[in-house]
Structure 1
């Protein structure tokens, strides 16, 4: 089977091949990030090979990378699963998110370009549509996209990379929250952030992100408490 795709070369307009292992990694990453794999769900190389119509070698490499990211955990006996979060995990994730995403937001506002600000407004409008229609998958995708586009403006790839791994940790649990409470109950401080962007107020924007984090993670903590 041929898993090689091509993507545009930003330097010259030609297409460059995307390795099979990278394609598989990105597909599995999205499934975990947006909760298509549930907390505690076991995965196998054979099962993923069949589901993704991919070879065993790229699937094995993708699993290895996702274990390194913390998105999957090795259980021994060749068993791998999506992590189950504990209250201690949530406490650490909240601390790291509030600390790093606060700083990323401040830096992003200081470097914000008008075109990116407009893009964030468009993403937020799509996010509102997902909330109003109860489209959980679209909500999760657009919520992640909003934060990713914002943080990319900070020009701080090390911090942004840490945050991306944190999102992989709690993404499956956020999907559970959506299923439990529905999209209407989900927090959204993006309007506050966009208003702060309009005024170039980096401190107000960072505070809005912190509130967004606290409300969302508190809901995840509530679900974990209810299940224990």
Structure 2
């Protein structure tokens, strides 16, 4: 498993429990937990080279964030996604991420714009080469690089929770159909940010989220 993708601690992990939590969370974001597949606490502990106790605590936290479910048999699975739940998550993401982007806008200068453009170039290349993992990593870094500029606290943790809930399903869809047809509204967003146009920023964020999650069909939800 790789290092944490977003909102990671600024210092070294203080405890094994903390390390395990971030590693499992990152694995969810990167598609290592998929709908329909399960893992055991003991299996995760072996992979992460630790005892079952910190794994159990990490899973408890991720269960409270609705990213995973822990059964009575100690098997870990991704919660079932329904159209109603997905639509609600989509609406919540639009509201929170528009607010986070607007909050970040006053802190975006030329250096920050250059960083966002570089990340967008990385995403564009990933789409062109049909590189799913590179697309996922680049997209994650693009959004959270922007949102962190506004120094959010509560909003960011809520956004993270929503991303965790949809990441497994999106990865499953990516595996079946690839990433080459995915919409990319990042250029629109960068132009809106550069012009300090709050309404255009909010529109680009909304379209990016709705076109991404809204493209998941009822059939794909049933197959998950």
TM over 0.5: yes
Between 78-87 and 118-127, the greater mean CA deviation after superposition: 78-87
Q: Work out whether residues 134 and 182 of structure 1, in 8 Å CA contact, stay in contact via their aligned partners in 2.
A: yes
CA pair 172-109 structure 1, distance change in 2 beyond 3 A: same
Alignment-derived partner of residue 20 in structure 2:
24
CA distance in 2, matches of 1:197, 1:157: 21
Matches within 5 A, 1:3-152: 18-152=14-148
Note if contact 2:27-2:33 (Cα within 8 Å) is conserved in structure 1.
yes
RMSD of aligned residue pairs (Cα, Å): 2.0
Change (3 A) 1:194 1:223: farther
Aligned equivalents of 1:176, 1:143: Cα separation in 2: 16
Q: Which secondary structure state, in structure 1, belongs to the residue aligned with residue 220 of structure 2? A: helix
Matched length:
216
Structure 1 residue 40, shift from structure 2 partner: 3.1
Question: 2:176 aligns to what?
Answer: 180
Write the deviation string for residues 6-53 of structure 1: whole angstroms up to 9, x where unpaired.
Answer: xxx97xxxx755321121111111111121110132221111011222
Aligned-pair CA distance for 1:183: 1.2
Specify every segment of 5 or more residues in structure 1 that has no aligned partner in the other structure, as ranges.
Answer: 1-8
Q: Are 2:198 and 1:202 aligned?
A: yes
Match of residue 157 from structure 1: 153
Using the size of structure 2 for normalisation, the TM-score is: 0.89
The aligned counterpart of 1:5 is none
Structure 2: where are the runs of 5+ without partners?
Answer: 1-8
Contact 1:71–1:82 (Cα < 8 Å) also in 2: yes
Aligned CA distance change for structure 1 residues 222 and 150 (closer, same or farther; 3 Å): farther
SS of 1:43's equivalent in the other structure is strand
Equivalent residues of 2:96, 2:155 under 8 A apart: yes
Normalization by structure 1: what TM-score? 0.87
Q: What is the alpha-carbon distance in structure 2 between the residues aligned to residue 225 and residue 21 of structure 1?
A: 33
